[in-house]
Amino acid sequence: MRPSAAALLILSLFLSSCATLSTIGRRKPEKAIPLKVLQEAPEGATVGVYAVSMRSGREIASYNADKLLLPASNLKLLVLYAALDLLGPAKNFKTEFLLDDSLNLYMVGFGDPSLLASDLYMIAERIKAFGINRIMDIRVSESFYDTIRYGPGWMWDEGPHPYAAPVSALSLNRNVVEVWVRNTETGPVAEVVPATDFVRAAVEVVPAESLDKVEVERNFDTVNHITLRIPEDALDFEPHV
């Protein structure tokens, strides 16, 4: 029986695919990488790629594979894998709320990164449901973690970014605050949201020719102080209180 045209076509495609996969490993490393990856790399960037087949374990592509580079956000993949392997997908991070006989409320953190201010309103409603209408004092504990706030490889200039928030066993709103600037009759004023005395913000107005955008400064050594440097031509909005 003669094979049908469709069968021949499928066989041809299969053989072509196998030939392509078998020859990739023998190509020069530079040609094994899609040209688009190299073309879209930022100017001055160093690109390193190493791809392995999940089925065979064979190298598919390699470019600067042995060059030492900072892993940057690629490290998140390893952290995610380690968390799933060691903690499991059903792991829940908890925050304990304890009440003593003197009606002092204790918040004990165990590393929950998702605790929000809205969750505290829900906790308050639950406490009220027990017939407790007054709290004498609120005390917090982050002793479940050590006192090291930043990773050893974090860059000194990453302070202003929300992904570089200090590490804590008790975090609220991802340990991030917003800073709003109001233009008043006496000049710009910075406000921290949510309002807190722990974090202070200041505004520094600079000549427009020396700065073309708003800059945020927060050093790791002065975590509770934020400085916004604003070009003077960016303050053309109406003052309000």
Q: For residues 91 and 113, what is the distance between their CA atoms, to the nearest angstrom?
A: 13
Helical spans, DSSP H, in the chain = 5-24, 29-32, 35-39, 75-86, 117-129
Map residue 163 onto helix, strand or coil: helix
Which of 52-61, 181-190, 212-221 is least confident? 212-221
Beta bridge partners of 187: 184
Residue 102 is predicted with a pLDDT of: 94
CA dihedral in degrees (135, 136, 138, 141; nearest 10)?
-120
Residue 54 is predicted with a pLDDT of: 87
Residue 41, pLDDT above cutoff 60: yes
Query: Can you tell me the mean pLDDT for 207-226?
Result: 76
Residue 235 is predicted with a pLDDT of: 63
CA dihedral in degrees (111, 112, 117, 123; nearest 10)?
-100
Q: Return the amino acid letter for 61.
A: A
- pLDDT for 134-177, tens place per residue? 999 999 999 999 988 888 878 777 777 778 888 899 998 888 88
- pLDDT for 90-123, tens place per residue? 999 999 999 999 999 999 999 998 999 899 999 9
Element (H, E) at 108: strand 104-109
Task: For residue 236, give both structure tokens.
Answer: 């053309």
